[in-house]
Structure 1
């Protein structure tokens, strides 16, 4: 009888660098851009809200489209450093460049639109360059579901922490760096520092990551892999879930500053409100997500509970949020703590889809599947970044006119902040009823155990 292989152990160095790469200072850059960049373009650069909406839509739509391209390229990369690891060398350098250039005003008049469109596209493509390989290397390095979920939880905690700092204290950090370096625009030195710190995390992931559980680089046309994946129509609900989770999470941060500044007409309370939102997200990722997974056993059940409970809070806030600021802060904190984990819990479905395709088709398509998730996520980002500004532009929003917005504008702000997440949650609940992996879970676990044992034998 063959000796039983030992249980897979947590690689703590890999877990740290995997969690602190995409979910470290790179995520803080994303938090600052998501929370303040639109306001910077309308209120500081002077672009019209509709122009910013168009800019966001074009850039993030292209960002979504190029995700599958990156996934296909990553799956067919063949270097002495591996398939996914080489991208961790160059991507953080580009992140530092584009993240910085977004906050520089070239004063080109009407040409500013094209400048910021170019830089935002560059930033989005850079995020794609490191996100697809980062998602792909997790199932290539780890086969255990429990260890994967722990690493995803670590990453979720990093996301929450970086979003807390970036969205709550972004303006304070900008002012600190402006005073420290004696410049008018503190966003520039802040982005340089965050970009350099991201280099440390990504280069650490390059050094530690191993690609143990993947097949050799395929010599078949990439179209074959894509066809073999897309023919599984039963996986299509995953795409909608990924879109809706991203959309709901993005709206949480993209609309909060506008909500406080114009709906409440209290720009002095922006930092306080954003702190409540960010702390809620931190508690969600660091504390409640683990509790929900333990209580509800699976990511799908935890996600269902999160959607239902947070939607109740959002409905209360939609109707009664404006009456009392303390009440608004408390219920917003609770709603965010219940909702934020959704954007991390759906990452479990990426690994489920990868395992499902390996089980049904016998191929490793980590990059392609991760890119499909990336496409769905970026499409959600496209909507969350552009739709609020699009609607505001239609209903007569006036930049800087605190306390002077019309009633339709105020309704749109309230609905985008608290009504839209309820709709995205309902769509997720409907889609989750058609999860195809559950019926094959036992057979998939057997397959993964056999793959891991075979890999261990080859390495011994």
Structure 2
């Protein structure tokens, strides 16, 4: 009896000791997926659709098909990657081994995407499809383990949220550079260094930088907080998670957040070039969007989380503000450039943080399953989130091009698009993000974790105490 009391006392003392914040891990975690790899994603997300239709001269309908097939397959293989990661057994851990090869493959496929081979139109379609699938599978290869490793290394919510904020700030910086300065960087490689296609050396440089951040994450990760599950069929683990239908609102939030964030960047070039009919303003407008995202992540999100107390309330309030701005811009954005710039900045500043705040729901779901089922399914839950996010990317990437094709879009016809096409572009830029925001608000009304919050916190304290006693 005395021994049990002594053990309990040790556990309580250990559980009350504050978890040390490890800066090297935090920095490399924040700058891996959200570093050079995110800059690559920003360039592809903002400029690749236009590159396909206007430079490679791939018809919009075919480009839409490429995006649909590639991103749909990308979504499907996310659960495969999550299950594979959860069942990985190596001397380096469960999730860490994937950080070694991923940036090498990222460099390869992101560079090949910008090659414009002298093929027929059909040949170009096949070439781009293969490269885009390779790029998407590589992103899955590092995104799932990167999300899964955070709750395995860090247990306290405050420390997790701090790392998520760092990652969000890095994401905003990368999107600022990618959306605003890609044209200038591309021109530098072409006009100053003599490259015929500036996208290619740009991708190679970013690929090298991604190797540094991912290999740094590998070196600084220590997977402490994992429950090693019995080896059982994958189907059983999946059933254990999917039977919790109360987690379904999380899926909807992840899907809508991905769509809203993607539309913000992917539709902006089309909006300024064809709806406003000012191609010369593309760098300025993309700068406003990306700087708004930067302010959102670096300044506004930490401030709003202090005001609203929790990430869930912050997500709810910021969506209401951004929806209001989108509705104003849908009806009045074209009437005045100053109004367009100011309200776009405000909308972006509040809407952008949703892409980071929804990551809190991943940690919530992981803790919830660990509490209710007693298993660590970090990889599988991260993969489910990734699946929802990739489905959002599928709808966004292929949907934009499909809507343009249906509306009669003509590549390069600045000032000569039909009224139907112009309405479609306006809907894509402001109408659709407003709708995704409304759906998120409805889904956020249901959060299964809140009623078990205290029990989950107690579980995490006991896990931390056990880990400390084993050291």
What is the count of residue pairs matched by the alignment? 459
Deviates more, 1:209-218 or 1:299-308: 209-218
Aligned to 2:376, the other structure's residue is in SS state coil
**Does residue 294 of structure 2 align to residue 282 of structure 1?**
yes
C-alpha root-mean-square deviation of aligned residues, in Å?
0.8
Alignment correspondent of 1:119:
131
C-alpha contact 1:10 1:147 (8 A) present in aligned 2: yes
The reply to whether residue 339 of structure 1 matches residue 351 of structure 2 is: yes
Q: Kindly report which structure 2 residues correspond to 1:143-182, keeping only aligned pairs within 5 A, or say none.
A: 143-182=155-194
Q: Which residue of 2 aligns with 1:436?
A: 448
1:74 pairs with 63, 75, 85, which one?
A: 85
Say yes or no: does 1:311 pair with 2:323.
yes
Given that residues 239 and 376 in structure 1 are in contact (C-alpha distance below 8 angstroms), is that contact kept between their aligned partners in structure 2?
Answer: yes
Rounded Cα–Cα distance in structure 1 between residues aligned with 2:188 and 2:338: 28
Residue 261 of structure 1 corresponds to 273
Q: Distance in 2 between matches of 1:269 and 1:161?
A: 21
What is the match of residue 226 of structure 2? 214
CA contact (8 A) 2:169 2:294 kept: yes
Q: CA deviation at 1:270?
A: 0.1
Q: Distance in 2 between matches of 1:451 and 1:107?
A: 58
Following the alignment from structure 1 to structure 2, what is the Cα–Cα distance between the partners of residues 259 and 35?
12
Q: Secondary structure at the match of 1:169?
A: helix
Q: Which residue of 2 aligns with 1:108?
A: 119
- Residue 395 of structure 2 is matched in structure 1 by 383
Name the SS of the counterpart of 1:404 in structure 2.
coil
In 1: Cα distance, 2:320 partner to 2:248 partner: 22
Q: Deviations over 1:404-453 (max 9, x none)?
A: 00001000101110111111011111111111000100110010011111
1:57 matched to 2:63: no
Q: C-alpha offsets along residues 193-232 of structure 1, whole Å, 9 cap, x if unaligned?
A: 0000000000000000010001236411111110100000
Q: Which residue of 2 aligns with 1:25?
A: 36
Structure 1 segments of 4+ aligned residues over 3 angstroms from their partners = none
For residue 181 of structure 1, report the CA deviation from its aligned partner. 2.9
What corresponds to 2:404 in structure 1? 392
Alignment partner of 1:192 is 2:224: no
- Aligned-partner SS, 1:364: coil
Q: Does 1:37 pair with 2:48?
A: yes
Residue segments in structure 1 that go unaligned for 5+ positions in a row = none
Partner of 1:291: 303
Query: What residue in structure 2 maps to residue 355 of structure 1?
Result: 367
| TM-score normalised by the chain length of structure 1 | 0.99
Confirm whether residue 245 of structure 1 aligns to residue 257 of structure 2. yes
* Bigger shift: residues 175-184 or 413-422: 175-184
1:22 match: secondary structure: helix
Match of 1:92 in 2: 103
Which stretch of the first structure deviates more once superposed, 358-367 or 1-10? 1-10
Q: State the alpha-carbon separation in 1 of the partners of residues 190 and 224 from structure 2.
A: 46
**C-alpha contact (below 8 Å) 2:100/2:218 kept by paired residues:** yes
The answer to whether the 8 A contact 2:228-2:375 is kept is no
Partners of 1:196 and 1:385 in 2: CA distance = 27
- Which residue of the partner structure matches residue 323 of structure 1? 335
Offset from partner CA, 1:319-372 (integer Å, 9 cap, x none): 111111122111100110011001110000000000000000000000000000
Aligned to 2:100, the other structure's residue is in SS state helix
Check whether the contact 2:229–2:375 (CA below 8 A) recurs between aligned residues. no
